[in-house]
Amino acid sequence: MKAIQINRCGGPEVLEYVDVPEPVAAPGQAVVRQTAIGLNFIDTYHRSGLYPLAFPAGLGMEAAGVVEAVGPGVASCAPGDRVAYCTPPPGAYAAKRAMAADRLVKLPAGVDDRMAAAAMLKGLTAWYLLRRSYPVRSGDTVLAYAAAGGVGLILGQWARSLGVRAIGVAGTPEKAELARAHGYAEVILADAPDFVARVRGLTGGAGVAAVYDSVGKASFTQSLDCLRKHGVMVSYGNASGPVEPFTPLELARRGSLYLTRPSLFDFIAERAELEAGTAELFALITGGGLKLHIGQTYPLADVARAHRDLEARRTTGSTLLLP
């Protein structure tokens, strides 16, 4: 069968479309024939070496499909079940995959395979950001970067459903318009010269309760300056590179701020946590409160182009790879 492998770190050119052996279900595992694979920024971190892997390595953390076989001891799913997952280790860029059965989530009738592959990692990221890293309350105002991206479009709608006013950050006027159509009350362009003043102006000078920052190095200080007293800085991505070391006194100088650097997988490590997050996510989708925007799809064999487009900010919403 076909899969993507890398044998060294680098740019999209290191992605190889190769033949690999068919997976076999070991005890506790299920083999999933994958119908849609989610592309996420974390995949580029693995490819570039920011998050090191042992070679040869697969990529991808998220997919949906149909269970083909189960190994001994598996009772949670059966052949024919439609399932999805978002979990390490990387290896989702493949036609089939043997997965730990307790990491698979069955899909309800109102969530098709492509929706699930577009929503699992990104949707659960929005869930933990809004529900765990800074648990929002109705009436809060928050700031979210990459508002027209996969996580951003979900977060905007989810925040609105919770009575939260979300201010988005987008790279172009077209992306700003897309973000407004997906729940954001206001959107500021990322290169606005008066960025902090704009945020302060939209909050009566107080600042926002929380910043959800996936950009990292380039926006970190600016994000701190947008927070209200005792606000929460949630730095959850490194799109511009990792945040450089800084003194904690910077938090005190801006009103005794809080800083967290979370990772999704710490919030869904236990089965009960995974089920709680996906239950809330799927209910929002099937209830009509969340419209998924799949901005582009690529054949799995064309994954290098998908990575180039993602890193060049040419994508909107969720991106899928199709085996």
Tens of pLDDT, residue by residue over 195-220, are 999 999 999 999 999 999 999 999 99
Binned at pLDDT 50, 70 and 90, residue 20 comes out as very high
Q: Which of 123, 133, 127 is nearest to 260 (CA)?
A: 133
Q: Which two tokens stand for residue 193?
A: 């010269």
- How large a percentage of the chain has pLDDT more than 90? 96
Q: Which of 246, 247, 222 is nearest to 233 (CA)?
A: 222
For the chain, domain boundaries:
2-119+269-322, 137-261
Q: Is the model's pLDDT at 119 over the cut of 90?
A: yes
Binned at pLDDT 50, 70 and 90, residue 241 comes out as confident
CB within 8 A of 12, min separation 6: which ones? 47, 303, 304, 305, 307, 308, 311
Q: Is the model's pLDDT at 301 over the cut of 90?
A: yes
Q: Is the model's pLDDT at 308 over the cut of 90?
A: yes
pLDDT at residue 316, as a whole number: 86
Q: Which two tokens stand for residue 237?
A: 């991505």
Domains 2-119+269-322 and 137-261 share a fold: no
Q: How many residues does the chain have?
A: 323
Binned at pLDDT 50, 70 and 90, residue 124 comes out as very high
| DSSP letter assigned to residue 245 | P
Phi, psi of 70 (to 5 degrees): -130, 150
Alpha carbons 247 and 145: distance in angstroms, whole number: 23
Alpha carbons within 13 angstroms on the beta-carbon side of residue 6 total 27
Q: Is the model's pLDDT at 6 over the cut of 90?
A: yes
Q: Is the model's pLDDT at 240 over the cut of 90?
A: no
Q: Is the model's pLDDT at 156 over the cut of 90?
A: yes
Give the 3-state secondary structure of residue 2. Answer: strand
Binned at pLDDT 50, 70 and 90, residue 63 comes out as very high
Binned at pLDDT 50, 70 and 90, residue 187 comes out as very high
The secondary structure of 59-92 as a DSSP string is --SEEEEEEEEE-TT--S--TT-EEEEE-SSS--
Alpha carbons 145 and 212: distance in angstroms, whole number: 6
Calculate mean pLDDT across residues 215-229. Answer: 96
Alpha carbons 175 and 54: distance in angstroms, whole number: 37
Alpha carbons 183 and 63: distance in angstroms, whole number: 26
Query: Pairing state of beta strands 96-100 and 62-70?
Result: unpaired
Binned at pLDDT 50, 70 and 90, residue 242 comes out as confident
Domain 137-261 homologous superfamily, CATH: NAD(P)-binding Rossmann-like Domain (3.40.50.720)
Residue range 270-280, pLDDT digits in tens? 999 999 999 99
Other CB atoms within 10 Å distance of the CB of residue 58: 18
Binned at pLDDT 50, 70 and 90, residue 120 comes out as very high
Sign of CA dihedral 35, 41, 44, 46: negative
Binned at pLDDT 50, 70 and 90, residue 317 comes out as confident
Name the average pLDDT for the chain.
96
Q: Is the model's pLDDT at 302 over the cut of 90?
A: yes
pLDDT at residue 239, as a whole number: 84
* CB 3, CB 94: distance < 8 Å: yes
Rounded-to-10 torsion of CA 155, 160, 161, 163: 130
Alpha carbons 239 and 150: distance in angstroms, whole number: 14
Calculate mean pLDDT across residues 176-184. Answer: 97
pLDDT at residue 184, as a whole number: 98
* CB 86, CB 289: distance < 8 Å: no
CATH topology of domain 2-119+269-322: Quinone Oxidoreductase; Chain A, domain 1 (3.90.180)
Calculate mean pLDDT across residues 150-158. Answer: 96
Q: Is the model's pLDDT at 238 over the cut of 90?
A: no
Q: Is the model's pLDDT at 95 over the cut of 90?
A: yes
Q: Is the model's pLDDT at 39 over the cut of 90?
A: yes
Q: Is the pTM of this model over 0.75?
A: yes
- How large a percentage of the chain has pLDDT more than 70? 100
